[in-house]
Structure 1
């Protein structure tokens, strides 16, 4: 069954008109000021992806994430999520919710009971426990020491750090690797290259070996290996982007306050606002050809990504004035 996601401008056009190129898509948490991609080598396009390009990507990821954990590159964090049912130990599967809805969609394939819980302590006793840190959509944050404590009470802890690049202090990866933890990282969100389909699973080698067996060979394309290694190795771009995003979330929050919206939470890549009527707020922005995200389980919450250029910021300011 299809699950609700942001990012499909065809839906915006169908509902509100215009052409896709008229719209600013702020319905996702994808950085709209992306990493500048250099031309890709002919060998990346023409040859089967080999071990040397993958080794370069893993080395760059290890430096960027400041970790010595084993790393498995995959075609996006979503590809790792699809492999999780095969890893589920005995016992219930618990998901700290509300959160990214693909976990609730995929994990029933494990054959285990799947429970949504609203407190971290309620994960205790699970065979497989899943949380997103910082969380999507509300930005809930758990300190690494809390994550390690949670890992002690479950069979396998999965921590999705897809939005952690601008928040390195939250990452579990900078400490020792627990035997019963897997961390997922998305490349495309922070680097603004979601179409590249690149992500990583990090954890004990035994878990990654099982994931690799099920994923099969050539899980990452040659261009993704090359572009990913280049981007992850550019510390100057990463640091500049983190500083820019930190300033721009304050700008977005100020615009929202002026419009009468209240901040629920968020990350450096998206904000979540409480509005009098989320559907009406989305429609108001849509008339300015700005697409936002609302949720079927909330009549008030609206998630908004950050504009990526001065022109986009001006359009958002005008729409919210």
Structure 2
């Protein structure tokens, strides 16, 4: 069964009878002011991708990964999420709840036993907390920052968890799809350690979800197995070109980081001032805890504002508007919904 995600705008437009062009889509957590894609050289559409085009080194430099880390460009981190479970025999896999549900879905479909990990079990990864819950796992998947709560576990804690898992041949898989706006917490600087697998994406911070580009940083053994599983030419030439140029554009990244942090603070204030309790968030989204989340999401939808609804627990996640007109519209809809 396919899981539902944000961005299903065509379906919402049909259901509500509102033309697609009149929607404010805040359901995806994607930067609304993404990296400006330049003209793509025509030859990239006409030739097979070149694996030795330097993209892997660009990814290492951008992420801060050491030279010994293996790098596998992938068509979005979703491709890795689906492929990694097939590289291990059935085992016990810890998945944070709440969290991005595709992780649990993919490991379950590959025959693994899913062990839900609730926030109270980890205590936010605080120093000195009881880590015995790790003893019943062979693999731990961690989403950092978490989607949709925005919770961040510090690198020191993740490395402690990795060491405990690796003692018995286990893996720590860290999904850093939303990490670009909080780079100090990335674990990429330790990429290459046996059993440490880090997923990065071009879709969120860079606002380039449509290009379907990401990367896996891992040890050479896991990276080699992943390459074999995915096959040749997995990431097209135009996507490789766009990814390299975007990752090398440091000035744009710094400006985007400043803007996103300011806009996220603005969104948090807007929600709190309208009596929606903010449960968590990141520079790319804010999440509120509400009763009857589905009904409230429908109220927003009937006003042409699409938000992401979660039911366990009941939450709404708001992405960022991209213009002054969109901010004004969102403020009016939030005020009306709060009443």
> Matches of 1:256 and 1:164 in 2, distance apart?
23
Instruction: Answer yes or no: is 1:187 the counterpart of 2:202.
Output: yes
The residue that corresponds to 1:21 in the other structure is 21
Q: Contact (CA 8 Å) 2:191, 2:198: kept in 1 or not? A: no
Note the alpha carbon deviations across 1:131-173, whole angstroms, 9 max, x for none. 1000001011100000010012221110000000001111111
Gaps of 5+ in 2: 123-130
> Matches of 2:318 and 2:191 in 1, distance apart?
35
Q: Contact (CA 8 Å) 2:191, 2:197: kept in 1 or not? A: no
The residue that corresponds to 2:56 in the other structure is 58
The residue that corresponds to 2:301 in the other structure is 286
The residue that corresponds to 2:36 in the other structure is 36
Q: Contact (CA 8 Å) 1:83, 1:211: kept in 2 or not? A: yes
> Matches of 2:148 and 2:75 in 1, distance apart?
23
Q: 1:315 aligns with which of 329, 336, 339?
A: 329
1:176 Cα deviation (Å)?
5.6
Q: Contact (CA 8 Å) 1:260, 1:275: kept in 2 or not? A: no
> Matches of 1:65 and 1:125 in 2, distance apart?
31
The residue that corresponds to 1:275 in the other structure is 290
Query: Which has the higher mean CA deviation after the structures are superposed, 194-203 or 113-122?
Result: 113-122
Q: Contact (CA 8 Å) 1:89, 1:128: kept in 2 or not? A: no
Note the alpha carbon deviations across 1:67-95, whole angstroms, 9 max, x for none. 22221001000000111112235641111
> Matches of 1:223 and 1:151 in 2, distance apart?
35
> Matches of 2:291 and 2:81 in 1, distance apart?
34
Q: Contact (CA 8 Å) 1:166, 1:242: kept in 2 or not? A: yes
TM-score, normalised relative to structure 1: 0.95
After superposition, residues 292-303 of structure 1 pair within 5 angstroms as 292-298=307-313, 300-303=314-317
Q: Contact (CA 8 Å) 2:143, 2:176: kept in 1 or not? A: yes
Q: Contact (CA 8 Å) 1:88, 1:128: kept in 2 or not? A: no
Q: 2:229 aligns with which of 204, 214, 218?
A: 214
The residue that corresponds to 1:238 in the other structure is 253
Q: Contact (CA 8 Å) 2:300, 2:333: kept in 1 or not? A: yes
> Matches of 2:135 and 2:18 in 1, distance apart?
49
Instruction: Answer yes or no: is 1:259 the counterpart of 2:277.
Output: no
> Matches of 1:273 and 1:296 in 2, distance apart?
12
Instruction: Answer yes or no: is 1:150 the counterpart of 2:148.
Output: no
The residue that corresponds to 1:99 in the other structure is 99
Q: Contact (CA 8 Å) 1:95, 1:123: kept in 2 or not? A: no
> Matches of 1:2 and 1:252 in 2, distance apart?
31
Instruction: Answer yes or no: is 1:159 the counterpart of 2:159.
Output: no
Q: Contact (CA 8 Å) 1:88, 1:156: kept in 2 or not? A: no
Q: Contact (CA 8 Å) 2:199, 2:215: kept in 1 or not? A: yes
